[in-house]
């Protein structure tokens, strides 16, 4: 009976270990996705600023051309 209990505990321990490994993998994947999203958002902000500066230059040139 004690041997059966030990076998059950060992099986449950292995099962829990596999579940934990799967959760760790999912968490790592989500962290990678969050980092990628952060890089994308940063690039979008950079592009937005560049477009704003471009619009300002166009407006300045229009003022020069059309006084």
Between the alpha carbon of residue 19 and those of residues 9, 10, 22, 33, the distances in Å are: 15, 14, 5, 21
Percentages of the chain per state (helix, strand, coil), in multiples of 5: 95, 0, 5
The 10s digit of each residue's pLDDT in 10-47 is 999 999 999 999 999 999 999 999 999 999 999 999 99
**Alpha-carbon span 51 to 43, nearest angstrom:** 12
Pull the structure tokens for residue 53: 């500066």
Pull the structure tokens for residue 49: 């600023």
**pTM of this prediction?**
0.59
The 10s digit of each residue's pLDDT in 51-66 is 999 999 998 988 888 7
pLDDT value at residue 45 = 95
């Amino acid at each position: 009976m004690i041997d059966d209990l030990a076998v059950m505990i060992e099986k449950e321990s292995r099962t829990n270990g596999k579940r934990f490994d799967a959760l760790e993998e999912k968490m790592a994947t989500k962290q990678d996705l969050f980092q990628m999203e952060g890089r994308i958002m940063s690039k979008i902000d950079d592009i937005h600023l560049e477009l704003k500066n471009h619009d300002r230059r166009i407006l300045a040139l229009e003022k020069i051309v059309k006084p």
